[in-house]
Amino acid sequence: MGGYRAPLRDINFLLQNVFEAEKVFAAMPETKEVTDDLISAILDEAGKIAEQLLSPINQSGDLESCHFENGKVTTPKGFKEAYDAYVEGGWPSLTGNVNYGGQGMPKVLSAMIEEMFFGANSSFCLYTILTTGATLTISQHASEELKQTYLPNMYAGIWAGTMCLTEPHAGTDLGIINSKAIPNSEGNYDVTGTKIFITAGDHDLTDNIIHLVLAKLPDAPPGPRGISLFLVPKFLVNDDGSLGDDNGVVTGSIEHKMGIKASATCVLNFEKSKGFLIGELNGGLSNLFTMMNYERLSMGLQGNGLAESSYQLASGYAKERLQGRAAKGPKLTDKAADPILVHADVRRMLLTMRANTIAGRALSLYSSFQLDIARFHPDEAERIRAGQLVSLLVPVQKAYCTDRGFESCVLGQQVLGGHGYIAEWGLEQNVRDARISQIYEGANGIQALDLMGRKTVRSNGELLGILFKEMEGFIESSKHIEALAEGLTKLEFLMGELKQATNTVIEKAKKDPDEIGAASYPYMELMGLTLFCFMWQRILASVHLAKVNNDGSEDYLNGLLGSGDFFMNRILPKSKTLLEEIEAGAKSLMAVTADQF
């Protein structure tokens, strides 16, 4: 049993060799000073926080959980001290708007920090990412007065942030929320309603909590078109910037959950709480999606982080646990048994974890680069292209990385056998903590439906065409690498399967709209598998180049080659069954009547 170790070597290889981050950032004036050396230095420090501050309080925080007494929430022992150290290091301002005290760093950098923090302590990380997402929304959509009032203290970590969407009767279908915003005599709004499942809705880490709340005016249009977004602080802010009166934000309770127990998930009651409009009236949902895209990316990073943590525990255990003998004869003749790593099925589980974790990290970086290009690139056409890619990639990255992340946690638990089921080793906590990543910020079924419906059928495959151009460009530029020939052929074949599936659903949906929902999940998995294949081909191309240039440890590079080979030969063939499932259509799904369930 050991603590989390920041996977800096893998991360730096992806950033420097695969994606050539320094070149990407050099092309954009606002990020041109973000060099490989700067990235490595920042990631090194973040890795120390993950290893030395967050990992040691992960299991104890899970055991203690949050406390709710007399209407107040307190976090487990050690969390406040860890948060204060996090703030002292300036981490809350990393990607913030430089005009209000932020550092203006790219999402690519914060994404890898989030992955490490999630791997070390998912509950703690949730407090930090909610504030980051809230500041992004305020920075992009709020008035100058609200930015000046709230962003500096949020970037300083003195105040935190949340987003408040879900209500007892309204989860995915936000169009039916009941929370009301009534205009008041001060030119603002009195917000009333109940929100549930509010991550970091109340805690003792900061002096104030700034809630972004969806609500409707009494005369608002019905459905999603009538939703507005309001900034509702826990405590009002005086004209001189000091904290004022309590704002009627009452914590009703905290949830008792399967996992992320040290993260306070709250029921919040807004009792005529003063709210300040963000953006235009009735434009709240689109404005909040600025935050949602980043939060969904973060959920994929949670899946990656916990998969990495589980892999570290499982691979270390497999090297030490002695059980049985290797099929070809004893490896440790002086011992009563061999390490379980000699067994093919244990290797299957570990290599599945390793191959998917590396690909998931690469896909998360690829998506993050598109977010940065859409934000910073001086060429409007490049910003538009990147934004279109983001809209296609985020639902896949969120759903596929969290599915594979949970799978990796379960596989790690299986490697440990009985030891994986008890609390001491930490695998059972990883399983519990990872499970929520498939549910919140839009359940994975909703992500798949968004991908299949809005991003594919409604766009007539246009967004997929943009992705295919990226893939085709890579294939053309890599044909000279002889060792990639077979892999590139497989990628082209997979692209063909995805195109076939896309055309099939688009045509079928013209006659039967149920075809969209029937195909959505296997379609998301097929696209995820295709993207993982694309990522692995990019990784393997960089590995071969590094070997030619004698750049890096031969053993490390060969390990990447082995993991990539396993992915291409043992995981990729699953695409065939996914295509069959998609083409099977909606008939068998919709034929069973409600009474027959």
Give 1-17 pLDDT, tens digit per residue: 579 999 999 999 999 99
* Residue tagged 């008939």 (tokens): 587
What is the rounded distance in angstroms from the CA atom of residue 470 to the CA atom of residue 177? 40
Secondary structure, 3-state, 13-62:
HHHHHHCCHHHHHHCCHHHCCCCHHHHHHHHHHHHHHHHHHHHHHHHHHH
CA distances from 309 to 46, 153, 352, 357, 409 (A): 16, 33, 14, 10, 8
| Cα-based distances in Å from 104 to 93, 345, 413, 487 | 8, 46, 39, 38
Q: Catalytic: which of 114, 407, 428, 441?
A: 441
Domain boundary assignment for the chain:
448-590
CA 588 – CA 584 distance, rounded (Å) = 8
Q: Residue 77 and residue 74: Cα distance in Å, rounded?
A: 9
pLDDT at 380: 97
SS3 580: helix
Per-residue pLDDT 10s for the chain (597 aa) are 579 999 999 999 999 999 999 999 999 999 999 999 999 999 999 999 999 999 999 999 999 999 999 999 999 999 999 999 999 999 999 999 999 999 999 999 999 999 999 999 999 999 999 999 999 999 999 999 999 999 999 999 999 999 999 999 988 888 899 999 999 999 999 999 999 999 999 999 999 999 999 999 999 999 999 999 999 999 999 999 999 999 999 999 999 999 999 999 999 999 999 999 999 999 998 888 878 888 999 999 999 999 999 999 999 999 999 999 999 999 999 999 999 999 999 999 999 999 999 999 999 999 999 999 999 999 999 999 999 999 999 999 999 999 999 999 999 999 999 999 999 999 999 999 999 999 999 999 999 999 999 999 999 999 999 999 999 999 999 999 999 999 999 999 999 999 999 999 999 999 999 999 999 999 999 999 999 999 999 999 999 999 998 877 999 999 999 999 999 999 999 999 999 999 999 999 999 999 999
pLDDT value, residue 567: 98
pLDDT at position 1:
59
* End-to-end Cα, the chain, rounded Å: 45
Displacement of CA 54 from its chain's centroid (Å): 19
Amino acid in the structure at residue 162: T
User: Can you state the angle between helices 462-478 and 514-548, rounded to 10 degrees?
Assistant: 20
64 is catalytic: no
Cα–Cα distance for residue pair 169/178, rounded to 1 Å: 9
Residues 498/526, Cβ–Cβ less than 8 Å? yes
Cβ-contact 192, 271 below 8 angstroms: yes
- Say what the pLDDT of residue 541 is: 98
Residues 321/340, Cβ–Cβ less than 8 Å: yes
- pTM of the entire structure? 0.97
Query: Could you tell me which residues are beta bridge partners of residue 311?
Result: none
Closest CA to 82 of 29, 139, 121, 130: 121
Report the b/e string of 405-436 with b at 16+ CB within 10 A. Answer: bbbbbbbbbebbeebbeeeebbbbbbbbbbbb
Helix, coil or strand: residue 275: strand
> By C-alpha distance, which of 567, 536, 512 is closest to 352?
567
pLDDT, position 14: 98
| pLDDT at position 552 | 73
The answer for residues whose C-beta is within 8 angstroms of residue 37's C-beta and 6 or more apart is: none
Q: For residues 302 and 125, is the Cβ–Cβ distance under 8 A? A: yes
